[in-house]
């Protein structure tokens, strides 16, 4: 199996250099993962990348606007089905995938790995010893998380897979998966410790916690930081560490 990356022209504070679209080819057949935004330049670049191949299917890790909207237009151009966890904005799958579902192409097997946390509908895709991680793990940066309890469980789930390489939805490939995943877990645990310490020091308002814990973060990313803090606080509340009443936080 060969892997090609086609970078979407959508750089930004939330997308890095842009969304990574992946073209997997095996025995003359191709599978496309995360065709990205519905941008004509990007669609043409993807089409050029599969010109000598026989595309079989388009897979989508999740339905955020930088990953899924091009799937259905591209599928119509190539006359292939699209598959993902479920429908979303500008995305309608022909096949619904759940954990451990298998997609086959060119003698290669791709397995869906349910990894909720970044979003409820998030899937990774395992092909041989490569994991296509969408926004579950990003090359060289952390991700924003909607459900921290689910996200931590999903990180530990992929930690148990026999992996040689991670292909993220943004950023470069990672060739030491055990170290990267362990770093992601430790990063989240450290953020959790920082949040508890901020509350202990008198920062009992969510905005004050964000300002303290993410003091060194680009201000453009603070809205995502606030989402992460809320996700951490919901997890800590379930664990009986804090009580959250609106934007007010107290230790238990």
pLDDT value at residue 236: 92
pLDDT value at residue 134: 97
Domain residue spans of the chain:
2-175, 186-251
- Domain 186-251, CATH 1.10.10.10 — does that match? yes
Do β-strands 29-33 and 54-59 pair in parallel, antiparallel, or remain unpaired? parallel
- DSSP letter for each residue of the chain: -EEEEEE-S--BTTTBT-PEEEEEEETTEEEEE---S--HHHHHHHHHHTTTSEEEEEE-S---TTTSTTHHHHHHHHT--EEESS-BTTB--SEE--TT-EEEETTEEEEEEE--SSSTT-EEEEETTEEEEETTSBTTB----S-HHHHHHHHHHHHTS--SEEEESSS--BS-HHHHHHHHHHHHHHHHHHHHHHHHTT--BHHHHHHHHTTTS-GGGHHHHHHHHHHHHHHHHHTTSEEEETTEEEE-
Class of domain 2-175: alpha beta
pLDDT value at residue 92: 96
Do β-strands 130-134 and 54-59 pair in parallel, antiparallel, or remain unpaired? unpaired
The closest alpha carbon to 94, from 107, 76, 111, belongs to 76
Residues contacting residue 87 through CB under 8 Å, at least 6 positions apart? 63, 93
Residues contacting residue 101 through CB under 8 Å, at least 6 positions apart? 111, 112
pLDDT value at residue 250: 84
* CA 21, chain centre distance (Å): 13
Q: Which residues are part of the catalytic machinery?
A: 66
pLDDT along the chain (252 residues), means of 10: 96 89 97 97 97 96 96 97 95 97 96 96 97 92 86 97 97 96 94 91 86 80 83 91 84 82
pLDDT value at residue 207: 85
């Amino acid at each position: 199996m060969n892997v090609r990356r086609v970078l979407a022209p959508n750089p930004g504070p939330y997308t890095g250099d842009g969304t990574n679209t992946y073209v997997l080819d095996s025995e003359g057949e191709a599978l496309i993962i995360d065709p990205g935004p519905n941008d004509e330049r990007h669609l043409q670049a993807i089409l050029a990348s599969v010109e000598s191949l026989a595309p079989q299917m388009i897979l989508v890790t999740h339905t955020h606007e930088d990953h899924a909207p091009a799937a259905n237009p591209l599928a119509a151009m190539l006359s292939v089905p699209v598959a993902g966890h479920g429908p979303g904005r500008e995305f309608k799958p022909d096949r619904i995938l759940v954990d451990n579902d298998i997609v086959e192409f060119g003698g290669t097997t791709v397995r869906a790995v349910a990894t909720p946390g970044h979003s409820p509908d998030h899937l990774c895709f395992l092909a041989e010893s490569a994991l296509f991680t969408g926004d579950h793990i990003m090359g060289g940066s952390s991700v924003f998380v909607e459900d921290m309890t689910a996200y931590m469980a999903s990180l530990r789930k992929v930690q148990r897979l026999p992996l040689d390489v991670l292909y993220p939805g943004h950023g470069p490939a990672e060739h030491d998966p055990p170290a990267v995943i362990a770093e992601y877990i430790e990063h989240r645990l450290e953020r959790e410790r920082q949040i508890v310490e901020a509350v202990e020091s008198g920062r009992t308002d969510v905005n004050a916690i964000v300002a303290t814990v993410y003091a060194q973060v680009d201000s453009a990313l603070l809205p995502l930081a606030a989402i992460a803090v809320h996700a951490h606080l919901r997890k800590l509340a379930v664990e009986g560490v804090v009580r959250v009443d609106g934007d007010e936080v107290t230790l238990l």
